[in-house]
A and B are shown apart, each in its own frame.
Chain A
Amino acid sequence: MNTSSSSLLRLTGALFATGLALVLTGCATNVNTYERAESQAAPNYVADKRVITDNTLAGTFRVVSINQGTVSGNLLKIQATVENLKNKTRTLNYKFEWVDVNGMAVDSPNETWKAILLQGRETQTISTVAVTPKAVDFRLKFRE
């Protein structure tokens, strides 16, 4: 009786562990990435300052790097590399804002909240181009 009860317990434990493993990994849609070991690109990285007011969001999405370039002669282009730190697909809403040399906000038609889907552990780039040469600085905002 004792033996059968302990084997029943062991079976229940094994089933529970299997179920838990399935729950934890079953819905994952993680992305594996492969790239050149020694990158040929030479990005112009921007040293960034971060203001975190939502720790949950900061624990879900990480800005890996921000780099900048100039397009069409004098228009600033910003690209941020974002990583989903979770194992599930998540939607990130982001917005770029522009600032001129006097620190004034530059009203731009492309200042919109955009949504991107990131698969589990996926890294993606988001970018935008300033539509006026007056824009010299930027702000990147995230919300879930």
Chain B
Amino acid sequence: MKSNLNSRFTGVLALGALLALTGCETVPETRTVDAKGPEAVNTSAINSQDWSNAADQLVGSLLSSNALDNAPRTPAVLAVDRVINNTQLMVDTDLLIKKIRVALTQTGKIAITNTMGLGERAVVASEAAELEEMQSGKKQKVLVPDYTLYAKLIQQSDKGTKVTQNTYSFQMSLVQTKTGLTVWEEEKSIAKQTKRAGSVGW
């Protein structure tokens, strides 16, 4: 009877040890999250949610300004001008510009030229137009942009004793090519505070 109890106890102990040993094994786990949601990893840099928020705020401001109401045609032709990245981050500025292009194109008020400007260039489209010119002997009619879009990203770092704050400014201007006048401009900022490692309290 006693030996039976002993063997049962040993069995339970062995099972427990097995569970304890295998339970601690860390299996790499990957889950899909909403890139534009609060689950996105927050860092001191510009994360996916920040890009989306900045683009949304800039588009909202441009559309609310009614600056496109006086466009000479619908859709007005827009060329993307320089997008200057003056932050310390090595980022592709299309993370911002593409979102704005998509939104503006969806409004139906803007058509973005891809064969002019300093933004995304459609190389094959340009070559096709040149080829068409050569073959037909007729000059292709390229639409002159009505507007150009200029943007700049700026980073300002402020260091306190325990906290570092990075403020990212997203500046954007819409210039009417006919007059050279800026018909809309906006600046949106995102400030991120990071507590230094080892510091106590916030």
Query: When A71-B66, A127-B60, A129-B60 are in contact, do A110 and B37 touch as well, CB less than 8 Å?
Result: no
The contact of A112 among B53, B63, B68, B108, by CB within 8 Å, is: B53
CB distance from A111 to the nearest CB of B (A): 7
Annotate B41-52 by CB proximity to A: 1 below 8 A, 0 otherwise.
000000001001
Q: Considering only CB atoms and an 8 Å cut-off, how many residues of chain A contact the other chain?
A: 21
The contact of A73 among B52, B55, B69, B106, by CB within 8 Å, is: B69
Query: When A77-B64, A131-B103 are in contact, do A113 and B56 touch as well, CB less than 8 Å?
Result: no
Q: Determine if A125 is an interface residue (Cβ-Cβ < 8 Å).
A: no
Q: Determine if A132 is an interface residue (Cβ-Cβ < 8 Å).
A: yes
Q: Determine if A133 is an interface residue (Cβ-Cβ < 8 Å).
A: yes
- When C-beta atoms are compared, the residue in chain A nearest to B58 turns out to be A110
Q: Would B38 and A75 count as touching, CB distance under 8 A? A: no
Query: When A72-B107, A131-B103 are in contact, do A109 and B38 touch as well, CB less than 8 Å?
Result: no
Q: Would B36 and A72 count as touching, CB distance under 8 A? A: no
CB distance from B160 to the nearest CB of A (A): 18
Annotate A19-63 by CB proximity to B: 1 below 8 A, 0 otherwise.
000000000000000000000000000000000000000000000
Query: When A75-B63, A129-B60, A131-B103 are in contact, do A113 and B108 touch as well, CB less than 8 Å?
Result: no
Residues of chain B within 8 A of A77, CB atoms compared: 60, 63-64
Q: Which of A75, A127, A129, A131 has the most CB of B within 10 A?
A: A131
CB distance from A13 to the nearest CB of B (A): 31
Q: Determine if B195 is an interface residue (Cβ-Cβ < 8 Å).
A: no
The contact of A109 among B37, B56, B108, by CB within 8 Å, is: B56
The distance in angstroms between the C-alpha atoms of A93 and B64, with both chains bound, is: 23
Q: Considering only CB atoms and an 8 Å cut-off, how many residues of chain B contact the other chain?
A: 24
Q: Would A131 and B38 count as touching, CB distance under 8 A? A: no
Q: Determine if B102 is an interface residue (Cβ-Cβ < 8 Å).
A: yes
The distance in angstroms between the C-alpha atoms of A114 and B155, with both chains bound, is: 21
Residues of chain B within 8 A of A127, CB atoms compared: 60
CB distance from A125 to the nearest CB of B (A): 12
Q: Determine if B92 is an interface residue (Cβ-Cβ < 8 Å).
A: no
Q: Determine if B34 is an interface residue (Cβ-Cβ < 8 Å).
A: yes
Q: Determine if B109 is an interface residue (Cβ-Cβ < 8 Å).
A: yes
Q: Would B56 and A128 count as touching, CB distance under 8 A? A: yes
Residues of chain A within 8 A of B56, CB atoms compared: 109-110, 112, 114, 128
Within 8 A of B (CB), among A99-144: 108-115, 127-129, 131-133, 143
The contact of B34 among A108, A113, A129, by CB within 8 Å, is: A113
Task: Known pairs A75-B107, A112-B56, A133-B108; list 17 more (Cβ under 8 Å).
Answer: A72-B109, A73-B66, A77-B64, A108-B106, A109-B56, A109-B103, A110-B56, A110-B60, A112-B37, A112-B49, A113-B37, A113-B38, A114-B56, A115-B38, A131-B104, A132-B108, A143-B38
14 residue pairs bridging A and B, Cβ less than 8 Å apart: A72-B63, A72-B64, A72-B69, A72-B109, A73-B66, A73-B109, A110-B55, A112-B36, A113-B34, A113-B37, A128-B60, A129-B60, A131-B103, A132-B108
| Closest 10 pairs (CB-CB, A-B) | A112-B36, A110-B56, A112-B52, A131-B103, A113-B37, A129-B60, A129-B63, A131-B106, A72-B63, A71-B64
